[in-house]
Amino acid sequence: MAELIDLGEFGDAFRVDPHPVYARLRERGPVHRVRLPGMDAHHETWLVVGYEEARAALADPRLSKDGSKIGMLFLDEELIGKYLLGTDPPQHTRLRSLVSRAFTMRRVEQLRPRIQEITDELLDAMLPRGRADLVESLSYPLPITVICELLGVPEMDRSEFRKISTEAVAPTDSASEHAAFVRLAEYLTELIEDKRCAGPSGDLLSDLIRTTAEDGDRLSAGELRGMAFVLLIAGHETTVNLITNAVHALLTHPDQLAALRADMDLVDGVVEETLRWEGPVENATFRFAAETLEIAGTKIVRGDAVMVALTAADRDAGRFPDPDRFDPRRDTRGHLAFGHGVHYCLGAPLARLEARTALRTLLQRAPRLAPAGPPGDWLPGTLMRGVRSLPVRW
């Protein structure tokens, strides 16, 4: 029987900086039986921390994303419905194919001028003040504005949406998490019905309502709600943390900040190294063993939960030498920040475009950017990786 490691015993230090704990786990082996912080004695999972094992697990069809196959139903699926992250092929293949018809690379590229415009407008408001919370002034409003405009979410709804979405992905307790998902389900149902009644309007959600495959297949009401949920939540929460983590990394590595200021062509490398070094998603959502299997010699019994530690795998020295060093010039190809296999993040091109635009424009317009105090608290839980606030001055 594998030793059970209670990650909650590491206390608040694990939330602030989990990397030393993950490093010790990697030294002992690539797979461990753990209890996650905040979980009771009945909630255990296998945690995959080695790079090669993590990459293989992310693409292993024996590890199902559909909990219903082993009799499990999660709060988000119960209230919102099935969506991409909770399905396997062929259901996943069908859903992804339908959304890919509307959410194309061409559509993302067409957003480039609008992303630049929104970034400039936010900095126009922020820069005269001399100091600000970067999260509040840039990292949050840029991606939420982009994804809400893309999907057609009314502007007046966005502040309320922020509260419930953050509580859904980084809950402070189970009661508030439940309330957030109830409100999200109600809101998305109303939004979809409004768009259905209004007719075509050119936004992505309206297009998804009317998207039809060659065989006449369309998204059901529940699938539309699930698709809107994953696009809205994943489409901004992760990018908020990507932008913030990149700026935080640069401010705590002044040599790399100076190098970027001297050569703005390094901005792509900064974004990719941030994704590897302090990516916005700490751990992939649960997978479940659809059959008994082995990972690196460890027996995983049918029905067991498996969590792939993306941030731990991306600091595996066997794949990325000197992994704890933040180096925008390193070869980051193969990092797992956006996942791997059929569940590779659909919104990766949009997240990269927003992060590159935000960083380049911020440093061009605020060349003397510097910290204005310590960052805020790190988000609770083990899903998202980011701080609630980042005080800066210029």
User: pLDDT tens digit string along 32-73?
Assistant: 999 998 766 567 999 999 999 999 999 999 999 988 777 676
Pairing of strands 287-289, 305-308: antiparallel
Instruction: Output the pLDDT for position 303.
Output: 92
* Average pLDDT of the chain, as a whole number: 91
Pairing of strands 305-308, 45-48: parallel
Give the pTM.
Answer: 0.92
Q: Nearest 10 degrees: CA dihedral of 74, 18, 292, 339?
A: 70
Instruction: Output the pLDDT for position 30.
Output: 98
Helix (H) or strand (E) holding 242: helix 221-251
Distance of CA 110 to the CA centre of its chain: 23
Predicted confidence band at 214 (pLDDT cuts at 50, 70, 90)?
Answer: low
Residue 184 has pLDDT above 90, yes or no: no
Instruction: Output the pLDDT for position 67.
Output: 82
Predicted confidence band at 203 (pLDDT cuts at 50, 70, 90)?
Answer: confident
Predicted confidence band at 249 (pLDDT cuts at 50, 70, 90)?
Answer: very high
Yes or no: domain 4-393 corresponds to CATH 3.40.50.980: no
Residue 24 has pLDDT above 80, yes or no: yes
Name the residue with tokens 């980051």: 332
Reading phi first (left if > 0) and then psi (alpha if -120 to 50, else beta), residue 334 is in left
Range with the poorest average pLDDT among 93-107, 155-169, 175-189? 155-169
Tokens of 75: 């709060």
Residue 2 has pLDDT above 70, yes or no: yes
Tokens of 237: 């929460």
Residue 131's DSSP bridge partners are: 393
What type of residue is 151? L
Q: Where are the domains of the chain?
A: 4-393
The CA distances from residue 141 to 36, 153, 242, in Å, are 31, 14, 13
Residues 246-257: what's their mean pLDDT? 98
Taking the C-alpha atoms of residue 140 and residue 157, their distance in angstroms, rounded to an integer, is 15
3-state secondary structure of 340: coil
Helix (H) or strand (E) holding 305: strand 305-308
The answer to whether 247 and 137 are in contact (CB under 8 A) is no
